[in-house]
Amino acid sequence: MKMKQWLLLVTLLMMTVTSAVGCSKSQAKEEATTVPPAPAQEDTTPIKIQYWHSHDEDQTAGLDYMIKEFNKKYPYITVEPVFQGDYDELQQKLMAAVAAKQVPAVTNVEVAKVPNFSESGMLADLSPYIARDKMDTADFSTGMLKAYNYQDKQYGLPLIVSTSVFVYNKTMFDKEGVTPPQSWDEIEAFAQKLTKKEGNKTTRFAFSVPGWSSWYYDPWIMNGGGSVLTQDNMSAIDQPDSMKFMNKFKEWKDKGYMHIGYGKGASDTMRQMFFDGKIGMVEHTSALIKWYMEKAKFEVGVSFLPGDKKRISQIGGAGIAVMDMASEKEKEAAWKFVQFMTAPENNIKWAEFTGYLPTRKSAIESEEGKQYFSKYPQYKAVFDNFDNVMPRDQHPAYDEVSEFYVQALGKVVLENADVEASFKEAAKQMNDVLAEYATK
């Protein structure tokens, strides 16, 4: 009998339990460690720390390079990189590690998980270290730094940062004489020119916005002047400003300008349609800019998301953080590694290796940075808006509640449902969960 999947689930739940009882004892100790660590006199006894990460194959060359350079600077610290799969897998392994009280010293943390991990005491507060070593945090992009800050404590630093951008078919745009729209008002004229139709059916869409993840339209909500959560953490999704984007999307979709991919496999379809010239411009993560440039048989351009009341884009990717459960000595070594990985000196090189964005203002303005932009002019569009790459609202239940307006959008896209009714319903569902969360 196939009880296996079910059992696996239960077993997984259990494995994390067994040691959890013991963990509760360390609670009191944790409070004590928030005191800024004393400036360590250089302790150079050899130490080995583990770095758990999600850098996939095409980033390992960069990681190897960084670790080698790090070893030149700190020969007594050995960093052992351990690939733990994608962000979800990494996260599950971290939870198991915490339960087993055998944690790595340094880890990646996906930006969306910062509230959860910080709140549960999994990550060490880096603020005392930053203050002690007088790290110049103002050099980081404001939004990127803020994304790893939770309730005024810096729980990590930005490492591989991406944001959503419009990737467009420059060859097609030049031929048709259009440029990417910079504001919502420009979209009508732009799309009218680019859309091709046969009868009622669109054969070429002007642009596509992924509907499968709220990450892609959260910035649209913000740009329209709305927000997902209110100040006191209730749903703001049914405010007129928050729904403005959806009404626009519906209008553009009904006119045949806009393609909205929804559900599993939609990402592949969207990319293929873009490569086949069936879509002129797609919103996607900046982490894939290089990939698009390599795969496309035409010239690829990149444009920042068009704005309305505001013009921002949302942060994605992961940061680097120190595990709170590691020993003081490990934390000290881990902090050195974190500093090194995010330092301005290696920032451009790292970005070039990984395809993610540089995070340091000084690095972008350096000679190396200028060369980088002449080599990849596509990234320029992002950096002209460097400080407008913002984190989303931080709430531990964000992922859960965002599911509701993803569904509301789905209802509008797939079943032509009424915008206001679907978003009102989503707001109600969001509030139920948020209320449940508040009473917890």
**Residues at the site binding another protein, with contacts judged by CB under 8 A:** 1-3, 5-7, 9-11, 13-14, 16-17, 20, 23-24, 26-27, 88, 92, 95, 98, 116-117, 120-122, 262-266, 268-269, 272-273, 397, 399-400, 407, 410-411, 414-415, 436, 440
Residue 202 beta carbon to another protein: minimum distance, rounded to whole angstroms:
12
Q: Sign of torsion, CA 138 143 148 152?
A: positive
CA angle at 213 for the pair 114 and 387, rounded to the nearest 5°: 55
CB 233 within 8 A of CB 431: no
407/346 Cα distance (integer angstroms): 42
Cα Rg of the chain, angstroms: 23
Distance CA 403, CA 410 (A): 10
Closest separation between CB of residue 88 and another protein, Å? Answer: 8
CB nearer to another protein: pick between 240 and 263:
263
Beta-carbon-side half-sphere exposure of residue 403 (alpha carbons within 13 Å): 7
* Nearer Cβ to another protein (1/32): 1
Q: Where are the beta strands (DSSP E) in 286-424?
A: 300-303, 313-322, 389-390
- State in angstroms the smallest separation of the CB of 171 from another protein: 22
Question: How far apart are CB 291 and another protein at their closest, in Å?
Answer: 19
Kindly tell me which of 15 and 61 has the beta carbon lying closer to another protein. Answer: 15
Dihedral class, residue 82 (left if φ above 0, else alpha if ψ from -120 to 50, else beta): beta
CA-based nearest residue to 410, from 236, 264, 291, 260 = 260
Of 155, 153, 66, nearest to 351 (Cα)? 66
Please, what is the minimum distance in Å from the beta carbon of residue 27 to another protein?
Answer: 6
As measured in angstroms, the least distance from the Cβ of 13 to another protein is 6
**Residue 202 near residue 428, CB atoms below 8 Å:** no
Cβ–Cβ < 8 Å for 351, 357: yes
Residue 101 CB, nearest approach to another protein (Å) = 10
Which C-beta is closer to another protein: that of 5 or that of 45?
Answer: 5
β pairing state of 279-285 and 201-208: parallel
Shortest Cβ 391–another protein spacing (Å): 20
Of the pair 122, 312, the CB lying nearest another protein is at 122
Given the complex with another protein, which of 186 and 393 has the nearer CB atom? Answer: 393
Q: How far apart are CA 346 and CA 217, in angstroms?
A: 32
For residue 439, CA distances in Å to 398, 432, 433, 434, 436 come to 16, 11, 10, 9, 5
Q: Which is nearer to another protein, 28 or 138 (CB)?
A: 28
* Closer CB to another protein, 67 or 266, in the complex: 266
Question: Residue 259, class by beta-carbon neighbours within 10 Å (0-12 exposed, 13-18 middle, 19+ buried)?
Answer: buried
State in angstroms the smallest separation of the CB of 203 from another protein. Answer: 12
Q: Which is nearer to another protein, 27 or 45 (CB)?
A: 27
User: Whole-number minimum distance, CB 438 to another protein, in Å?
Assistant: 13
Contacts of 272 (CB under 8 A, 6+ apart): none
Smaller CB separation from another protein, 2 or 134: 2
